[in-house]
Structure 1
Amino acid sequence: MPAATLGRRAAPATLRLPDRVRLGAAVAAGNLAAVGSRLANRGSGASIRGQVLTRIAPDAFKLLLRGRRIASVSGTNGKTTTTHLLAAAVRAGLGADAARLVTNADGANLHYGIASALCQARAADIAVLETDERVVSDMIAFGRPEVLVLLNFSRDQLDRHHEIKALGRAWRAALERAGHDGPTVVANADDPLVVWSAGTAANVVWVDTATSWTADAALCPACGTVLDTTGDRWDCPGCELTQPEASWRVDGDRIVTPDGTRVSPELRVPGSFNVSNAACALAAATELGVELDAALRGMRTVTSPAGRFATATLQGTTARLLLAKNPAGWAEALPLAASDPVILAIDSVAADGKDVSWLWDVDYEQLQGRRVIATGPRAQDLAVRLSYAEVEHQVIPELTAALAAVGDHPSSTSRPGTTEAPVDLIATYTPFQRLLKMAGLR
């Protein structure tokens, strides 16, 4: 797609007068609720704005999507960072017209969170939207995105997402219904369930992300046969499903473009998995019409998307904040944790998933030889797992006390008053959000 297409504006939305009046009243009420939330020190107000908005105008999600060119990003892991990378790439491509872009930068990715972001930029005609896996079907139906980025599937919140194939089946059906009017799908060729889910799309750009996590991809999603993995490729011996040839691919710390150009993303967010996220974002940006150099320049400005990888001083301890929500996320986060001690924070409310049996699928053995502080409401469950992993650990259920305890240890890498490296703190969703609030980052 030629780069000039980024300058094309979406046709303005035309709403009936009753819809305009109702939506205007709902937005005003949502904004008032957001102000109250901020005054009460309950957060930014983005979430309550969207909840009030969609309660008064249940079709606000659908109405606010109209009149925009949309790129949607979804998947179990990496969608917040990938959305930030893609938004930064588009912003760089727009240059002086950057006000045309709206994105849900805070990571609120359900219907009301997306509506909350969109209602604050009614004139923006380009939207880069992080989209929860359960919202993808509605995004395809009502938003008619130009580009849909499908990153991966992994076990997550087992009490609610009992079978991730059901989510993939919904994606597949939505893309089939959209037909030739559906989005260009930028899809992870390494994930069998993503490949099967994208199989009904009219146009797919495949990305070889060099994914290392394969524990959630043992069976063929099409026929149930055990997949054959040879080298770095997978294939189903029982049906025609096989890993497609990718036009974009990750090669170490480089991204290889469809014409064979090797580029270094030079990201400011750590981890090989973020190179994979960047490859998907770069492919999506070029589909939208962003020139390659501008997209890379924009992505290099991303440092701590929605607080991920941010460094903050809490309870006298300097900590680097890492989010890990499921086994695949922990497999990515644990190798980044270089401090001694390291803090692991676990909770199990609805946003985390109430079933914590996934703890037994995480390779905590790699923390042997270092001190671990287990914190959060499910710290004792984590302690049992660490005991079996033969990892020295201390249980301090209260998060603030766990942070304060770091500086009391003589071998701590992050003692109060020092300039040494921060302690790494890996948390599930709820304690991570609490940390962001403590740090003033939300």
Structure 2
Amino acid sequence: MAAIPAAHTQRGRPISPALPRQVWRSAAIGAGNLAAWASRRTGRGSGASIRGQVITKLYPDAFTELVAGRRIAAISGTNGKTTTTHLLTAALRAWVDDPTDVVTNADGANLREGIASALSQQVHAPIAILETDEQIVPAMVRAGHPEVLVMLNFSRDQLDRHHEIKSLGKKWRDALAEAGGKGPVVVANIHDPLVTWAAEAAQHTIWVDMGIGWTQDAALCPNCGTVLRYGGDNGWSCPGCMMAQHPADFSVSGDQVTGPHGEQWLLDLAVPGRFNRGNATCALAAAIVMGVDPAVAVQAMSTVRAPAGRFSTGHFGETTARLLLAKNPAGWAESLLVMQSDPVVLAIDSAIADGTDVSWLWDVEYEQLAGRHVVCTGPRAQDLAVRLSYAGVEHSIVPSLTEAMHAHYDHPVDVLATYTAFLHLCRMGGVTW
């Protein structure tokens, strides 16, 4: 085949740029939809991911063009972005006249390809609530000009991919500083120093006390490198540059959220855990920024039950299991608090999507499971068993997920899993979303 002239490869389009852009974008979306259909037909998945890959391969400007011109709320951070996205989406859909005016990447595909995939299915929806991977927040700020950006936390996650979280925080800070007055309203977690440092570059920030604080990834001040001080009524502070925890505009205590003027709302969430009450508080603040009546937002958020399979119930023969997902030490620390069964099942994998480095197991306080039996399963069950031995937690090893889930249990069990194992368990247990 003859070489394609350089003019015909401009901007990566497969054929002549003289043809109308919308035609070729539509053609790319059509090809992506066909790939998604084939993925579903062959049982390989929902097709959302492959759709996005095909669209962006054939039309590289798809992400930039599809995010443009919408009212966008972007949600990012290491923990809680999927659930927060679902909560905020429920609030917006309850507020608008036509729920189809709100598009979201509900399946959690949050890179450029996943976002393009979701938006391609509702090209004309004026509002987009988008879970956004930490790596592409700067691109979202620059291309999508979001109305609001929810910044949850930074924690070590997939150490082989996000090995230096401060570099991510700096990219967020730089993008917000560059955006200036045209940048988003930022809803930021006051407990995370790196989030605080990044958010301080925004023109307008709403500070949220999420009721939780993970400090193991925040020993040093991101501004000057001095060891941070923790404790006291004012939270954390830096003795070197006087950077410190901000007073909260929104805060949560138990199920009660307090607003900036003393307003109070009672959460009635179907998703458990104090971390989800913190997520809901951020979602409520973002909803208010976007004009939603807070009473409507709170009621709508109560309808969210199993965002992208999290906290869903799976059935494995005679075994009934509640499935929880956690991907890093901060997530595991909070998720262990809501596990109620005895025994509990912990499923560990280290595929690419999980991060191949599982040394984070040693940062989780498994000692809190003392007195209960733990079933260790998944490809890295042995690694988990070693950690539990040092924690003094009684455990057994069942490497096969299938065998572990089809064992005899006297009552429903709680299962906490890393990402790849979680997806496998959802398929095994008949959980869809």
TM range (shorter): over 0.9
SS in 1 for 2:79: coil
Residue 158 (str. 1) matches residue 170 (str. 2): no
Amino acid of the structure 1 residue aligned with 2:405: L
Contact 2:350 2:356 in 1 (8 A): yes
In the alignment, what sits opposite 1:303? 305
SS at match of 2:236: strand
Partner AA of 1:218 in structure 2: A
In structure 2, what is the equivalent of residue 10 of structure 1? none
User: Does structure 2 retain, via aligned residues, the 8 Å contact 1:340–1:413?
Assistant: no
Task: Describe the superposition over 1:335-355 as per-residue Cα deviations: whole angstroms up to 9, x where unpaired.
Answer: 111111111000111111111
Mapping for residues 186-225 of structure 1, pairs under 5 Å? 186-225=187-226
Q: 2:247 aligns with which of 230, 235, 245?
A: 245
Structure 1 residue 434 and structure 2 residue 433: aligned? no
After superposition, give the CA deviation of every residue in 1:163-198 in whole Å (9 maximum; x if it has no partner): 110100000011111111111111111111000011
| 2:359 corresponds to 1:357 | yes
Q: Distance in 2 between matches of 1:428 and 1:413?
A: 25
Counterpart residue number, 1:417 = none
Contact kept? 2:93, 2:99, Cα under 8 Å: yes
Amino acid at match of 1:168: G
- 2:61 corresponds to: 59
Moved more, 309-318 or 30-39: 309-318
**Partner-residue secondary structure (3-state), 1:82:** helix
Distance 1:432 1:183 in 2: 33
Answer whether contact 2:250 2:260 (CA < 8 A) is retained.
Answer: yes
Paired with 2:431 and 2:275, the residues of 1 have a C-alpha distance of: 27
Q: Which amino acid aligns with 1:144?
A: H
Alignment RMSD, CA only?
1.3
Task: Determine the C-alpha separation between the residues in 1 that align with 2:323 and 2:247.
Answer: 36
Measured after TM superposition, the shift of residue 17 of structure 1 is 6.2
CA displacement 1:73-122 (0-9 Å, x = unmatched): 0000000000000000111111x321110000101101000000000001
Amino acid at match of 1:54: T
Do the aligned residues in 2 keep the contact of 1:82 with 1:277 (CA within 8 Å)? yes
Alignment match of 1:338 (pick from 337, 340, 347) = 340
Q: Secondary structure at the match of 1:424?
A: strand
Work out the CA distance in 2 between the residues paired with 1:369 and 1:200.
47
Matches within 5 A, 1:17-416: 18-94=20-96, 96-232=97-233, 233-405=235-407, 407=408, 412-414=409-411
Q: CA deviation at 1:210?
A: 2.0
Per-residue CA deviations over 1:299-334 (Å, capped at 9, x if unaligned) read: 011001000000111233100000011110011111
Q: In structure 2, what is the Cα distance between the partners aligned to 1:315 and 1:354? A: 31
Whether the aligned pair in 2 keeps the contact of 1:339 and 1:413 (CA below 8 Å) is: no
1:11 is matched with which residue? none
Stretches of structure 1 lacking an aligned partner (at least 5 in a row): 1-15, 415-421
Scaled by the length of structure 2, what TM-score is found? 0.94
Aligned AA (2:76): S
Q: Is the 8 A contact 1:150 1:185 kept in 2?
A: yes
- Separation in 1 of the partners of 2:362 and 2:391? 10
Q: Shift in Å at residue 224 of structure 1?
A: 0.9
Structure 2 counterpart SS, 1:369: coil
Match for 1:205: what amino acid?
I
Q: Distance in 2 between matches of 1:171 and 1:212?
A: 21
Answer yes or no: is the 8 Å Cα contact 1:34–1:45 preserved in 2. Answer: yes
CA distance 1:275–1:17, change in 2 (3 Å): farther
For 2:173, what is the secondary structure of its paired residue?
helix
Shift of 1:253: 2.2
Give CA deviations for 1:389-426 in whole Å, capped at 9, x if unaligned: 11111111110111112x1xxxx342xxxxxxx20000
Q: What is the CA-CA distance between 1:287 and the residue it aligns to?
A: 0.1
AA matched with 1:185 = V
- Native 8 Å contact 2:207 2:246 kept in 1: yes
Q: Is the 8 A contact 2:212 2:274 kept in 1?
A: no
1:315/1:400 contact within 8 Å kept: no
Number of residues of Structure 1 aligned to a counterpart in Structure 2: 415
